[in-house]
Amino acid sequence: MFKELDPLLHSQLRLAVVSLLLSVDEADFVFIKEKTGATAGNLSVQIDKLNEAGYIEVRKFIDGKKPRTVCKITQIGIEAFDKYVKALQDYIKK
C-alpha cells in the first residue's frame, strides 16, 4: 500500500524552501526568493504555512533601517522531509 504524501511538502514551492533550508544554517527571505524564483507574496504565504506547521522557524527584525525575515528549518521539518522522501522512494519501488 502507498503511504500518504505530506500535503504540506507536496507543494513545489514549500518543498523547495524546505530543501534549501536543509542545506544552510539559516536563510533570509531575499535569498530564498532568489533561489526559488517565487514572487514575494507567494513565498510569504508559503513560509507562513511552513512556520505554522512547525517545519521552520521565522525571525523578523529590523537590520539598520531594513526589515529582515530569516528562516531556519526545525527538527520537526527535518523529520517531515525525511518521511516525505522515504514515502516517495516507496512509490518508486512499487
Q: Which domain holds residue 20?
A: 12-88
DSSP, collapsed to helix, strand or coil, labels residue 61 as strand
- Residue from 29, 34, 30, 21 nearest 78 by CA: 21
CATH number of the domain enclosing 70: 1.10.10.10
Domain count across the chain = 1
- Cβ neighbours, 10 Å, residue 71: 24
Question: 31-52, pLDDT tens digit by residue?
Answer: 999 999 999 999 999 999 999 9
**pTM for this model (two decimals):** 0.92
Q: Is the pLDDT of residue 68 over 90?
A: yes
The burial class, CB within 10 Å (0-12 / 13-18 / 19+), for 86 is exposed
Q: Is 6 part of a structural domain of the chain?
A: no
Q: Is 3 part of a structural domain of the chain?
A: no
Q: Is 5 part of a structural domain of the chain?
A: no
